[in-house]
Protein backbone atom coordinates (compact mmCIF):
# COMPACT_ATOMS: atom_id res chain seq x y z
CA UNK A 1 0.00 0.00 0.00
CA UNK A 2 0.96 3.62 -0.48
CA UNK A 3 1.57 5.64 2.68
CA UNK A 4 1.77 9.43 2.85
CA UNK A 5 1.37 10.88 6.37
CA UNK A 6 0.21 7.51 7.74
CA UNK A 7 -2.39 9.11 10.03
CA UNK A 8 -5.19 6.96 8.60
CA UNK A 9 -3.18 4.00 7.35
CA UNK A 10 -1.15 3.20 10.49
CA UNK A 11 -4.13 3.15 12.90
CA UNK A 12 -5.93 0.93 10.39
CA UNK A 13 -2.93 -1.40 10.26
CA UNK A 14 -2.83 -1.58 14.06
CA UNK A 15 -6.48 -2.68 14.04
CA UNK A 16 -5.68 -5.14 11.22
CA UNK A 17 -8.15 -3.48 8.88
CA UNK A 18 -5.21 -3.18 6.45
CA UNK A 19 -2.60 -5.93 6.26
CA UNK A 20 -0.23 -4.85 3.49
CA UNK A 21 2.90 -6.89 2.84
CA UNK A 22 4.76 -3.81 1.61
CA UNK A 23 4.40 -0.08 2.20
CA UNK A 24 5.65 2.48 -0.31
CA UNK A 25 6.25 5.83 1.35
CA UNK A 26 5.67 9.06 -0.57
CA UNK A 27 7.16 11.53 1.90
CA UNK A 28 10.56 11.75 0.17
CA UNK A 29 8.99 12.62 -3.20
CA UNK A 30 9.58 16.36 -3.16
CA UNK A 31 7.62 16.89 -6.43
CA UNK A 32 4.44 16.08 -4.47
CA UNK A 33 5.03 18.91 -2.02
CA UNK A 34 4.38 22.08 -4.01
CA UNK A 35 1.65 24.59 -4.82
CA UNK A 36 1.81 26.37 -8.18
CA UNK A 37 -0.37 28.89 -10.00
CA UNK A 38 -2.59 31.65 -8.75
CA UNK A 39 -6.22 32.45 -8.02
CA UNK A 40 -6.49 33.95 -11.54
CA UNK A 41 -4.91 31.00 -13.40
CA UNK A 42 -6.00 28.24 -11.06
CA UNK A 43 -3.95 26.39 -8.49
CA UNK A 44 -2.10 23.06 -8.71
CA UNK A 45 -1.64 21.45 -5.31
CA UNK A 46 0.79 18.56 -4.81
CA UNK A 47 -0.80 15.59 -3.03
CA UNK A 48 2.00 15.56 -0.45
CA UNK A 49 1.21 19.02 0.94
CA UNK A 50 0.20 18.66 4.56
CA UNK A 51 -3.21 19.77 5.78
CA UNK A 52 -1.53 22.44 7.91
CA UNK A 53 0.24 23.82 4.83
CA UNK A 54 -3.03 23.88 2.86
CA UNK A 55 -4.94 25.55 5.69
CA UNK A 56 -2.29 28.28 5.97
CA UNK A 57 -1.49 28.82 2.30
CA UNK A 58 -2.22 32.48 1.50
CA UNK A 59 -3.77 31.91 -1.96
CA UNK A 60 -5.88 28.99 -0.75
CA UNK A 61 -7.05 30.99 2.26
CA UNK A 62 -7.88 34.06 0.19
CA UNK A 63 -9.37 32.55 -2.99
CA UNK A 64 -10.64 29.12 -1.86
CA UNK A 65 -11.42 29.74 1.84
CA UNK A 66 -13.64 26.66 2.20
CA UNK A 67 -10.66 24.46 1.37
CA UNK A 68 -8.37 26.22 3.84
CA UNK A 69 -11.07 25.89 6.50
CA UNK A 70 -11.82 22.22 5.77
CA UNK A 71 -8.11 21.30 5.87
CA UNK A 72 -7.79 23.22 9.14
CA UNK A 73 -10.59 21.32 10.91
CA UNK A 74 -9.37 17.81 10.09
CA UNK A 75 -8.55 15.91 13.29
CA UNK A 76 -5.87 17.54 15.48
CA UNK A 77 -2.92 19.88 14.91
CA UNK A 78 -0.45 16.99 15.22
CA UNK A 79 -2.29 14.91 12.63
CA UNK A 80 -2.67 17.89 10.30
CA UNK A 81 1.10 18.37 10.46
CA UNK A 82 1.60 14.79 9.24
CA UNK A 83 -1.57 14.15 7.22
CA UNK A 84 -1.55 15.12 3.56
CA UNK A 85 -4.22 16.41 1.22
CA UNK A 86 -3.74 13.34 -1.02
CA UNK A 87 -4.23 11.01 1.94
CA UNK A 88 -7.32 12.95 2.98
CA UNK A 89 -8.87 12.54 -0.47
CA UNK A 90 -8.11 8.78 -0.39
CA UNK A 91 -9.26 8.31 3.23
CA UNK A 92 -10.86 4.94 3.97
CA UNK A 93 -14.61 4.93 4.56
CA UNK A 94 -15.71 4.56 8.18
CA UNK A 95 -18.32 2.61 10.18
CA UNK A 96 -18.99 1.94 13.86
CA UNK A 97 -18.67 -1.80 13.21
CA UNK A 98 -15.38 -1.47 11.29
CA UNK A 99 -13.29 1.20 13.05
CA UNK A 100 -12.71 -1.07 16.02
CA UNK A 101 -9.89 -3.28 17.27
CA UNK A 102 -9.39 -6.73 15.76
CA UNK A 103 -10.72 -8.40 18.92
CA UNK A 104 -13.81 -6.18 19.02
CA UNK A 105 -14.57 -7.00 15.39
CA UNK A 106 -13.87 -10.71 15.99
CA UNK A 107 -16.26 -10.78 18.95
CA UNK A 108 -19.17 -9.82 16.70
CA UNK A 109 -18.11 -12.08 13.83
CA UNK A 110 -16.57 -9.38 11.62
CA UNK A 111 -18.36 -7.76 8.66
CA UNK A 112 -17.97 -7.87 4.91
CA UNK A 113 -15.64 -4.83 4.74
CA UNK A 114 -12.95 -6.93 6.44
CA UNK A 115 -12.80 -10.60 7.40
CA UNK A 116 -16.59 -11.25 7.40
CA UNK A 117 -19.50 -11.93 5.06
CA UNK A 118 -22.42 -9.76 6.11
CA UNK A 119 -23.16 -6.10 6.73
CA UNK A 120 -23.98 -5.58 10.39
CA UNK A 121 -25.74 -2.26 9.69
CA UNK A 122 -28.14 -3.68 7.12
CA UNK A 123 -28.14 -7.47 7.56
CA UNK A 124 -29.67 -8.33 4.19
CA UNK A 125 -27.63 -5.77 2.28
CA UNK A 126 -25.39 -7.09 -0.49
CA UNK A 127 -23.13 -4.04 -0.11
CA UNK A 128 -21.18 -2.10 2.50
CA UNK A 129 -22.49 1.31 3.57
CA UNK A 130 -19.37 2.63 5.32
CA UNK A 131 -19.28 6.41 5.28
CA UNK A 132 -17.09 8.76 3.25
CA UNK A 133 -15.60 10.87 6.06
CA UNK A 134 -13.08 13.13 4.35
CA UNK A 135 -13.44 16.82 5.14
CA UNK A 136 -11.74 18.09 1.99
CA UNK A 137 -13.34 15.75 -0.59
CA UNK A 138 -16.74 17.56 -0.67
CA UNK A 139 -14.93 20.89 -0.93
CA UNK A 140 -12.77 19.77 -3.86
CA UNK A 141 -15.90 18.64 -5.71
CA UNK A 142 -17.71 21.91 -4.96
CA UNK A 143 -14.70 23.84 -6.27
CA UNK A 144 -14.74 21.86 -9.53
CA UNK A 145 -11.28 20.40 -8.88
CA UNK A 146 -9.72 17.60 -10.89
CA UNK A 147 -7.07 15.11 -9.81
CA UNK A 148 -4.07 13.61 -11.63
CA UNK A 149 -3.53 9.86 -11.18
CA UNK A 150 -0.19 8.35 -12.12
CA UNK A 151 0.86 4.73 -12.68
CA UNK A 152 -0.81 1.39 -13.40
CA UNK A 153 -3.17 0.34 -14.91
CA UNK A 154 -2.82 3.04 -17.58
CA UNK A 155 0.98 3.01 -17.19
CA UNK A 156 0.87 6.74 -17.63
CA UNK A 157 -1.26 9.53 -16.28
CA UNK A 158 -4.91 10.43 -16.32
CA UNK A 159 -6.83 13.44 -15.11
CA UNK A 160 -10.37 13.00 -13.81
CA UNK A 161 -12.87 15.32 -12.07
CA UNK A 162 -12.61 15.00 -8.29
CA UNK A 163 -16.19 13.67 -8.20
CA UNK A 164 -15.17 10.79 -10.49
CA UNK A 165 -12.58 9.62 -7.93
CA UNK A 166 -15.40 8.34 -5.72
CA UNK A 167 -17.80 5.43 -5.94
CA UNK A 168 -20.97 4.78 -3.92
CA UNK A 169 -19.57 1.66 -2.28
CA UNK A 170 -18.20 1.44 1.26
CA UNK A 171 -15.56 -1.10 0.22
CA UNK A 172 -14.53 -0.07 -3.31
CA UNK A 173 -14.95 3.61 -2.51
CA UNK A 174 -12.30 4.91 -4.94
CA UNK A 175 -12.28 4.49 -8.71
CA UNK A 176 -8.49 4.69 -8.77
CA UNK A 177 -6.55 1.44 -9.04
CA UNK A 178 -4.71 0.41 -5.83
CA UNK A 179 -1.29 1.23 -7.25
CA UNK A 180 -2.24 4.53 -8.88
CA UNK A 181 -0.77 7.52 -7.07
CA UNK A 182 -2.78 10.70 -6.75
CA UNK A 183 -0.05 13.18 -7.63
CA UNK A 184 -1.80 16.55 -7.71
CA UNK A 185 -5.10 18.39 -7.48
CA UNK A 186 -5.98 21.10 -9.98
CA UNK A 187 -8.31 23.92 -8.89
CA UNK A 188 -9.90 26.04 -11.62
CA UNK A 189 -9.50 29.85 -11.48
CA UNK A 190 -11.39 31.26 -8.50
CA UNK A 191 -13.11 33.88 -10.67
CA UNK A 192 -15.26 35.40 -7.95
CA UNK A 193 -16.18 32.07 -6.39
CA UNK A 194 -17.68 32.35 -2.89
CA UNK A 195 -17.16 29.21 -0.85
CA UNK A 196 -17.98 27.80 2.56
CA UNK A 197 -17.55 24.51 4.42
CA UNK A 198 -19.38 23.59 7.60
CA UNK A 199 -18.68 20.50 9.65
CA UNK A 200 -20.89 18.79 12.23
CA UNK A 201 -19.16 16.57 14.81
CA UNK A 202 -19.38 15.74 18.49
CA UNK A 203 -16.03 17.12 19.72
CA UNK A 204 -14.60 20.13 17.94
CA UNK A 205 -11.11 19.10 19.03
CA UNK A 206 -10.60 16.15 16.67
CA UNK A 207 -13.66 14.19 15.59
CA UNK A 208 -14.42 13.08 12.05
CA UNK A 209 -17.38 14.80 10.39
CA UNK A 210 -20.81 13.25 10.80
CA UNK A 211 -21.99 15.83 8.27
CA UNK A 212 -19.95 18.10 6.02
CA UNK A 213 -21.48 20.75 3.76
CA UNK A 214 -19.41 22.39 1.02
CA UNK A 215 -20.90 25.13 -1.14
CA UNK A 216 -19.52 27.23 -3.97
CA UNK A 217 -21.44 30.15 -5.43
CA UNK A 218 -21.02 32.95 -7.93
CA UNK A 219 -23.24 36.02 -7.63
CA UNK A 220 -23.78 38.71 -10.28
CA UNK A 221 -23.45 42.39 -9.33
CA UNK A 222 -27.15 42.59 -8.44
CA UNK A 223 -26.90 39.50 -6.21
CA UNK A 224 -28.39 37.02 -8.69
CA UNK A 225 -26.84 33.58 -8.35
CA UNK A 226 -25.12 32.49 -11.58
CA UNK A 227 -23.30 29.38 -10.35
CA UNK A 228 -23.96 27.00 -7.46
CA UNK A 229 -22.65 23.70 -6.19
CA UNK A 230 -23.67 22.00 -2.95
CA UNK A 231 -21.82 18.84 -1.89
CA UNK A 232 -22.51 16.81 1.25
CA UNK A 233 -19.94 14.75 3.10
CA UNK A 234 -20.45 11.93 5.63
CA UNK A 235 -23.98 11.11 4.48
CA UNK A 236 -23.12 8.21 2.15
CA UNK A 237 -20.17 6.12 0.95
CA UNK A 238 -19.17 8.96 -1.38
CA UNK A 239 -19.48 12.76 -1.34
CA UNK A 240 -23.00 13.56 -2.59
CA UNK A 241 -23.44 16.44 -5.03
CA UNK A 242 -26.98 17.78 -4.83
CA UNK A 243 -27.55 19.13 -8.32
CA UNK A 244 -31.29 19.72 -8.04
CA UNK A 245 -30.86 21.83 -4.91
CA UNK A 246 -28.13 23.88 -6.57
CA UNK A 247 -30.30 24.44 -9.65
CA UNK A 248 -32.97 26.08 -7.44
CA UNK A 249 -30.48 28.89 -6.73
CA UNK A 250 -29.52 29.71 -10.31
CA UNK A 251 -31.09 32.92 -11.60
CA UNK A 252 -32.39 33.77 -8.12
CA UNK A 253 -31.46 36.32 -5.49
CA UNK A 254 -30.64 34.47 -2.29
CA UNK A 255 -33.62 35.47 -0.20
CA UNK A 256 -34.33 33.50 2.99
CA UNK A 257 -37.08 31.60 1.12
CA UNK A 258 -34.79 30.63 -1.79
CA UNK A 259 -32.04 29.51 0.61
CA UNK A 260 -34.52 27.46 2.65
CA UNK A 261 -35.98 25.76 -0.45
CA UNK A 262 -32.49 24.81 -1.66
CA UNK A 263 -31.52 23.58 1.82
CA UNK A 264 -34.59 21.34 2.06
CA UNK A 265 -33.95 19.97 -1.44
CA UNK A 266 -30.27 19.36 -0.64
CA UNK A 267 -31.20 17.25 2.38
CA UNK A 268 -33.34 14.84 0.31
CA UNK A 269 -30.52 12.81 -1.29
CA UNK A 270 -28.73 12.59 2.08
CA UNK A 271 -29.60 9.14 3.38
CA UNK A 272 -27.25 8.51 6.30
CA UNK A 273 -27.44 5.15 8.07
CA UNK A 274 -27.05 4.40 11.75
CA UNK A 275 -23.34 3.55 11.52
CA UNK A 276 -21.54 6.65 12.74
CA UNK A 277 -21.62 8.98 15.74
CA UNK A 278 -24.78 10.69 17.11
CA UNK A 279 -28.44 9.90 16.53
CA UNK A 280 -29.50 9.29 12.95
CA UNK A 281 -32.58 11.48 13.38
CA UNK A 282 -30.40 14.37 14.63
CA UNK A 283 -27.97 14.03 11.72
CA UNK A 284 -30.86 14.06 9.25
CA UNK A 285 -32.42 17.08 10.92
CA UNK A 286 -29.16 19.00 10.83
CA UNK A 287 -28.56 18.56 7.09
CA UNK A 288 -30.89 21.35 5.85
CA UNK A 289 -29.82 23.54 8.79
CA UNK A 290 -26.14 23.25 7.83
CA UNK A 291 -26.82 23.67 4.11
CA UNK A 292 -28.74 26.89 4.77
CA UNK A 293 -25.98 28.18 7.06
CA UNK A 294 -23.28 27.34 4.52
CA UNK A 295 -25.20 29.08 1.72
CA UNK A 296 -25.68 32.18 3.86
CA UNK A 297 -22.00 32.19 4.84
CA UNK A 298 -20.81 31.85 1.23
CA UNK A 299 -23.21 34.54 0.04
CA UNK A 300 -22.21 36.90 2.84
CA UNK A 301 -25.75 37.04 4.25
CA UNK A 302 -26.61 37.49 7.90
CA UNK A 303 -26.26 34.26 9.87
CA UNK A 304 -28.73 33.01 12.44
C1 LIG B 1 -7.93 10.61 15.71
C2 LIG B 1 -8.09 10.89 14.25
C3 LIG B 1 -8.97 11.86 13.85
C4 LIG B 1 -9.14 12.14 12.48
N5 LIG B 1 -10.04 13.10 12.13
C6 LIG B 1 -10.25 13.36 10.82
C7 LIG B 1 -11.20 14.35 10.43
O8 LIG B 1 -11.81 15.02 11.26
N9 LIG B 1 -11.41 14.56 9.12
C10 LIG B 1 -10.75 13.84 8.15
O11 LIG B 1 -10.99 14.09 6.96
N12 LIG B 1 -9.82 12.92 8.48
C13 LIG B 1 -9.55 12.67 9.79
N14 LIG B 1 -8.62 11.72 10.17
C15 LIG B 1 -7.96 10.91 9.13
C16 LIG B 1 -6.58 11.38 8.66
O17 LIG B 1 -5.83 11.93 9.71
C18 LIG B 1 -6.68 12.41 7.53
O19 LIG B 1 -7.68 12.03 6.62
C20 LIG B 1 -5.37 12.62 6.78
O21 LIG B 1 -5.53 13.65 5.84
C22 LIG B 1 -4.89 11.38 6.02
O23 LIG B 1 -3.73 11.74 5.28
P24 LIG B 1 -2.39 10.90 5.38
O25 LIG B 1 -1.39 11.57 4.51
O26 LIG B 1 -1.99 10.67 6.79
O27 LIG B 1 -2.89 9.55 4.72
P28 LIG B 1 -2.31 8.07 4.92
O29 LIG B 1 -2.73 7.53 6.24
O30 LIG B 1 -0.87 8.01 4.58
O31 LIG B 1 -3.12 7.33 3.76
C32 LIG B 1 -4.53 7.27 3.78
C33 LIG B 1 -4.99 6.45 2.57
O34 LIG B 1 -4.71 7.16 1.36
C35 LIG B 1 -3.80 6.46 0.53
N36 LIG B 1 -2.92 7.49 -0.02
C37 LIG B 1 -2.27 8.46 0.67
N38 LIG B 1 -1.67 9.32 -0.18
C39 LIG B 1 -1.93 8.87 -1.43
C40 LIG B 1 -1.59 9.34 -2.74
N41 LIG B 1 -0.87 10.45 -2.94
N42 LIG B 1 -2.03 8.64 -3.80
C43 LIG B 1 -2.79 7.51 -3.63
N44 LIG B 1 -3.16 7.04 -2.42
C45 LIG B 1 -2.73 7.71 -1.34
C46 LIG B 1 -3.14 5.43 1.43
O47 LIG B 1 -2.72 4.29 0.71
C48 LIG B 1 -4.25 5.11 2.42
O49 LIG B 1 -5.15 4.21 1.83
C50 LIG B 1 -8.40 11.43 11.51
C51 LIG B 1 -7.50 10.44 11.93
C52 LIG B 1 -7.35 10.17 13.28
C53 LIG B 1 -6.36 9.11 13.68
S1 LIG C 1 -21.53 -0.71 6.55
FE2 LIG C 1 -21.75 -2.92 7.01
S3 LIG C 1 -20.16 -3.98 5.80
FE4 LIG C 1 -19.67 -1.79 5.82
S5 LIG C 1 -18.23 -1.55 7.50
FE6 LIG C 1 -20.28 -1.17 8.35
S7 LIG C 1 -21.03 -3.14 9.09
FE8 LIG C 1 -19.26 -3.52 7.79
Pocket lining: 5 vs ligand 1, CB cutoff 6 Å:
yes
Query: pLDDT tens, 23-81?
Result: 999 999 999 999 999 999 999 999 999 999 999 999 999 999 999 999 999 999 999 99
Exposed e or buried b per residue across 72-101, where buried means at least 16 C-beta atoms within 10 angstroms of its C-beta: bbbbeeebbebbbbbbbbbbbbbbebbbbe
Exposed e or buried b per residue across 222-253, where buried means at least 16 C-beta atoms within 10 angstroms of its C-beta: eeebebbbbbbbbbbbbbbbbeebbebbeebe
Instruction: Point out the least confidently predicted range of 36-40, 121-125, 244-248, 300-304.
Output: 300-304
**Are the C-beta atoms of residues 175 and 165 closer than 8 Å to each other?**
yes
- Give 271's pLDDT tier (boundaries 50, 70, 90): confident
- Give 155's pLDDT tier (boundaries 50, 70, 90): confident
Spatial distance between the Cα atoms of 86 and 135, rounded to a whole number of angstroms: 12
Spatial distance between the Cα atoms of 48 and 12, rounded to a whole number of angstroms: 20
Which residue's CA is the closest to the ligand 2 atom numbered 4?
Answer: 128
Chain CA centroid to CA 60, Å: 17
Query: pLDDT tens, 189-241?
Result: 999 999 999 999 999 888 999 999 999 999 999 999 999 999 999 999 999 99
Instruction: Give the number of whichever ligand sits closest to the CA of residue 27.
Output: 1
Pocket lining: 200 vs ligand 2, CB cutoff 6 Å:
no
Pocket lining: 128 vs ligand 2, CB cutoff 6 Å:
yes
Pocket lining: 88 vs ligand 1, CB cutoff 6 Å:
yes
Pocket lining: 13 vs ligand 1, CB cutoff 6 Å:
no
Which residue's CA is the closest to the ligand 2 atom numbered 2?
Answer: 119
Which residue's CA is the closest to the ligand 1 atom numbered 14?
Answer: 75
Amino acid sequence: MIVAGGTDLYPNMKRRQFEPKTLVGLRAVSELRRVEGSAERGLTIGAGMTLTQISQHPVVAQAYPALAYAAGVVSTAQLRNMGTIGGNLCLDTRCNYYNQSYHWRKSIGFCMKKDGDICLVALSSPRCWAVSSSDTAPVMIALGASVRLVGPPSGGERVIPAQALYRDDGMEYLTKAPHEILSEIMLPPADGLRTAYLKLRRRGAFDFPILGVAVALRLAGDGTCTHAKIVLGAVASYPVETQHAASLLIGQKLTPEVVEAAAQAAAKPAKPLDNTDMLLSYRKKMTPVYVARALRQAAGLAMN
